[in-house]
Amino acid sequence: MKRATKRTIGWVSVAVMGMGILATGCSSSTSAAPTKASYATQANAICKEFNGKLNAIGSSSGQSLSQVQALLAEAVPLAERGQAKLEALPKPSDESAALNKVYAAQQTQVNQLKALANAVNAGDATKIQSISATLNALGGPLNSQFDALGLTACGSGSSGN
């Protein structure tokens, strides 16, 4: 394998591990708007669960192209399900606009992860590098937005699980 391809695959792994802000889990079925604290508890639990799954995928990945393709094939559906689960949680009325904004930014990250998978499958090293850089650039601001809402397992605490 070419040295540049190996380096690119390494960047893909870093980008995917940086995605530890999406989540899977169960949504609440209560019709009353939750409090900010109860929402944060539910969302953080979802993010913590997803982060564990993503970390398990990342720790089992290698550096070959086929292993990175397999990692992304598993990570993309998890990211999509996580996005849907978080958005399905009933939101506190006073946080709804801020949460919608952060989830829109998160959807951009999910879309970039899908584009990354497509670039890896196509073997397009230039696109892989560009998309990986975009994913890494999106991570910090998105973590800050989650943290500001009290969703630290979705934000800055997402990489430490």
Q: Which residue has the higher pLDDT, 11 or 74?
A: 74
- Alpha-carbon distance values, 147 to 45, 71, 154 (Å): 14, 27, 8
Domain ranges in the chain?
34-160
CATH of segment(s) 34-160? 1.20.120
Name the pLDDT band for 40 (thresholds 50, 70, 90). very high
Q: What share of the chain is helix, strand, coil (3-state, %, to 5)?
A: 75, 0, 25
- Alpha-carbon distance values, 43 to 31, 32, 99 (Å): 16, 16, 11
Contact yes or no for 12/128 (Cβ under 8 A): yes
Q: Which residue has the higher pLDDT, 102 or 7?
A: 102
**What is the tens place of the pLDDT at every residue in 124-145?**
999 999 999 999 999 999 999 9
The reported pLDDT for the residue numbered 159 is: 63
Q: What are phi and psi of 28, to 5 degrees?
A: -80, 145
- The mean-pLDDT minimum among 2-6, 69-73, 110-114, 130-134 falls in 2-6
CA distance 41 to 44: 5
CA distance 150 to 37: 8
Q: Does residue 21 register a pLDDT over 50?
A: no
